[in-house]
């Protein structure tokens, strides 16, 4: 296991030097690198992407009109971030860019929390997402088995819902479809 690390005064060359078995992000001139996530994190992120992708990206049982992407590399001003999931309304981004980097801030972001990322996700990345006018932010914790849903308010994030364990959720911007949180923890109802 490789430990997470942080380097101040970092730039694009430092980000490019991050080993492939790690995820690197550049936030306010600091390089943050961490190992690839553990299974509960991967299960939660993959399950959420699947559950939202069908109705919102593909229109299967839902309204469509979105791009729901797993670990896009966001180049937002001086910061390079890799959220677990991000979504863009197709009216704002009709097609994904041809390059590997996205420079248009998403409409929705979900960070899946883990012990090695929670502090960075909550204290370093949230302000960048607010600055870039991301409208909706979800923080999903597969260990505590809860989901926090935020909307951008006047200069801050407003918590509009906190859901736990086995809740059935209709949360903005995806309230058109009910989300069963049990699925995100690798469980099923009655099983």
Domains of the chain: 1-36 (no CATH), 37-184 (3.90.1570.10)
**Are β-strands 157-164 and 146-152 bridged in parallel, bridged antiparallel, or unpaired?**
antiparallel
Q: Tell me how far apart the terminal alpha carbons of the chain are, to the nearest angstrom.
A: 33
**Measured between alpha carbons, how far is 25 from 21 in angstroms, rounded to an integer?**
14
> pTM for the complete prediction?
0.86
pLDDT tens, the chain, 191 aa long: 456 678 888 888 998 898 888 888 888 888 988 887 888 888 999 999 999 999 999 999 999 999 999 999 999 999 999 999 999 999 999 999 998 899 999 999 999 998 888 999 999 999 999 999 999 999 999 999 999 999 999 999 999 999 999 999 999 999 999 999 999 999 988 75
Distance (Å, rounded) from C-alpha 78 to C-alpha 169? 35
């Amino acid at each position: 296991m490789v430990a997470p690390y942080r380097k101040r005064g970092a730039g694009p060359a430092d980000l490019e030097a991050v080993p492939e078995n790690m995820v690197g992000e550049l936030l306010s001139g600091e390089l943050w690198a961490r190992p690839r996530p553990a299974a509960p994190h991967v299960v939660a992120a993959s399950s959420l992407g699947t559950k939202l992708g069908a109705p919102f990206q593909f229109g299967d049982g839902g309204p469509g009109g979105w791009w729901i992407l797993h670990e896009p590399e966001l180049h937002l001003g001086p910061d390079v971030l890799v959220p677990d999931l991000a979504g863009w309304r197709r009216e704002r981004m009709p097609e994904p860019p041809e390059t590997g980097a996205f420079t248009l801030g998403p409409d929705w972001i979900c960070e899946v929390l883990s012990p090695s990322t929670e502090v960075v996700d909550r204290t370093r990345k949230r302000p960048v997402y607010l600055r870039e006018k991301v409208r909706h932010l979800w923080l999903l914790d597969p260990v505590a088995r809860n989901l926090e849903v935020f909307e951008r308010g006047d200069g801050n994030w407003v918590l509009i819902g906190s859901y736990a364990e086995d809740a059935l959720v209709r949360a903005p911007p995806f309230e058109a479809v009910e989300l069963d949180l049990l699925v995100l923890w690798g469980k099923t109802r009655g099983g």
